[in-house]
Structure 1
Amino acid sequence: MAGQSDKPAPVSKVREWANTIATFAGAVLVVNTFAYQGFYVPSESMLPTLTVGDQFYAAKYPYGYSRFSTPFVPLPVGSGRIFGAVPDRGDIVVFRKAGDENDLVKRVVGLPGDRLQWVEGRLYINGALVAREKLRDITYRAQSGALVTAAEYMETLPGGRRHLILENSDAGMADNTPEYIVPDGHLFMAGDNRDNSGDSRFLNDVGYVPLERVLGRVATVAFTRDGCATEEGLTCPGGGWWDRFFRSVAAD
């Protein structure tokens, strides 16, 4: 009588590998949906806070969860949020843009019911001028290769939270706007690079952002993929690549 082989059947080995991969993929999906999800900054709209090439991880739990919380396509059922909380003014958040369903990162400057308006480059919230203090003039090389001259300001939002912004001038295409009234259940987002950001000021594009489309809060940059090349006479907004490791970007 022939002896039985001790070698595992090929089908059993394939099944074992498949189970391992499925378990790992499931764990990654759970973490990305309920805890943290990684994102990459492709544009200069959040300079000097976030720079092109920054890799960060948005915390999913501070604002609760919605059908948009999955890292892939939104779930086809449900609306609103569970365990929901409204972001604080000044938070940097990632949200899913309506229409093309791209993920964007901007700063919350308007809460439900707020009135916002830009007049000659200055932001007014609920009729009060938002304070800003000029820190310096800088010249940097944009992603396109062009040289850009801008003023760097420290902006102080209602409630006292402060963060940096850049302004090329106070006469840009979105420096004089109508008054916006943020609808209930929505947020008003703005990029820190005020003259180079497509944000809620453009109602036919980003517009008011529904709370259910908010994905998470950004507090720290993990690292940067690209960094900023040092050139004589130019500034790296946000610092060079060595300054970006686990750098806090939360408003003060």
Structure 2
Amino acid sequence: MASKDNTDGGIVETIKTIVYALLIAGIFRTLFFQPFWIPSGSMKDTLLIGDFLFVNKMAYGYSKNSCPFSMCPVTGRLLFSEPERGDVVVFRHPVNGSDFIKRLIGLPGDTVQMRAGQIILNGTPVPQTPDGQFIETYAEQGPMRNMPRCENAGGTVGLGGECTKSRSIETLPGGRTHAVLNIDVNGFADNTDVFTVPVGQYFFMGDNRDNSQDSRFGQASGGVGFVPAENLIGRADRIMFSSAGSSLFYFWTWRSDRFFKAVE
């Protein structure tokens, strides 16, 4: 029969093991990689609802937002590396403090405008090449059970039907390419004023252009606006896991073709 001292000692050792494990996990999450789950369709078809990825927190250095609840005792950024145009970035919303993921379009000093759904960057149109359609099933997606928006919604799309969006390949200055989707013709965000990105801030957009609250919308209207450098959390490099279902345990909804897929 175990003595009371041995029992108490075992409990203490268990508690210490748990504390050490939590500390190690916290340090890993703060300094190296943060898990991030995609809850919305704003980055389709680069990122789908239910994609699970790790955010590279070493990519841009560290700020107070590198820690959970913005608790890092840091002013500005440490070991800062400038993000590159076209990076897919997780950042802290400047007002409500939630984590967003979008594509970096405008660097400090850039001018950005949308005309008829095309980016005008520093006065020059960013080329888009038609690339067929993105097709998905019109059904609830993910734990939040979001319904996708469809370009063909004016037709006969019903539950379980084909929901389509026009797909194009966009080529940013420097040659980086990525897919963008279109839902509306001259939608509410397809034509904007000219935005001049302030020093020390960035302009982000979602790849699903007509279904993204991003820097095209001011913070007062629920958008993102310009994002300060200290709000950058890290770069999305690779999808580790993906599930189309409302639960990770529904293995028949796993998208094995997206496991370990690079984010481009």
- Normalising by the smaller structure, the TM-score range is 0.7 to 0.9
User: TM-score, normalised to structure 1's length?
Assistant: 0.88
Cα displacement (A) at 1:194? 0.2
In structure 2, C-alpha distance between the alignment counterparts of 1:180 and 1:29, rounded to whole Å: 38
Matched residues, number: 234
Which of 209, 224, 235 aligns to 1:217? It is 235
Aligned partner of residue 65 in structure 2, secondary structure: coil
Separation in 1 of the partners of 2:234 and 2:102?
11
Residue 75 of structure 2 is aligned to residue 61 of structure 1: no
| 1:66–1:79 contact (8 Å) kept in structure 2 | yes
Question: Secondary structure at the residue paired with 2:21?
Answer: helix
Moved over 6 A (4+): none
* 1:145-183 residue CA offsets vs partner (Å, 9 max, x unmatched): 456132100000011100001011341101010000011
- 1:245 aligned residue: 259
Q: What is the Cα-based RMSD across aligned positions, in Å?
A: 1.9
Matches of 2:13 and 2:119 in 1, distance apart? 59
SS of the residue 2:150 aligns to: strand
| Structure 1 position 155 matched with structure 2 position 166 | no
Partner deviation per Cα, 1:212-239 (whole Å, 9 max, x = no partner):
11101011100112269xxxxxxxxxxx
Task: Give the secondary structure class of the aligned counterpart of 1:109.
Answer: strand
Task: Tell whether 2:201 aligns with 1:186.
Answer: yes
For the 8 Å contact 2:65–2:72, the answer to whether it is kept is: no
Matched letter for residue 217 of structure 2: F
What's the offset of the Cα at 1:77? 4.3
How far off its partner does 1:7 sit?
A: 7.3
2:99 is matched with 103
String of CA shifts for 1:58-79, please: whole Å, max 9, x gaps. 0000100001101x21127442
In the alignment, the residues of structure 2 paired with residue 198 and residue 76 of structure 1 have an alpha-carbon distance, to the nearest angstrom, of 27
Aligned equivalents of 1:215 and 1:176: distance in 2? Answer: 29
In 2: Cα distance, 1:147 partner to 1:207 partner: 23
Which sits farther off after the overlay, 41-50 or 241-250?
241-250
Amino acid in structure 2 at the alignment position of 1:15: V
CA distance in 2, matches of 1:102, 1:36: 18
Structure 1 gaps, min length 5: 229-239
Q: Which moved more, 1:104-113 or 1:165-174?
A: 165-174
Amino acid of the residue matched to residue 49 of structure 2? Answer: V
How far the C-alpha of 1:6 sits from its partner, in A, is 6.9
Quote the residue 1:133 is aligned against: 129
Q: Secondary structure at the match of 1:68?
A: helix
TM-score using structure 2 length: 0.84
Contact preservation (8 Å) 1:121, 1:169? no
Which moved further from structure 2: 135-144 or 240-249? Answer: 135-144
Identity %: 38
Say whether the 8 Å CA contact 1:48–1:165 is kept in structure 2. Answer: yes
Q: Secondary structure of 1:195's match?
A: coil
In 2, the alpha carbon distance for the partners of 1:186 and 1:121 equals 23
Q: Does 1:174 align with 2:171?
A: no
Contact kept in structure 1, 2:149 and 2:183, CA below 8 Å: no
| 2:78 alignment partner in structure 1 | 82
- Please identify the structure whose Cα radius of gyration is greater: 1
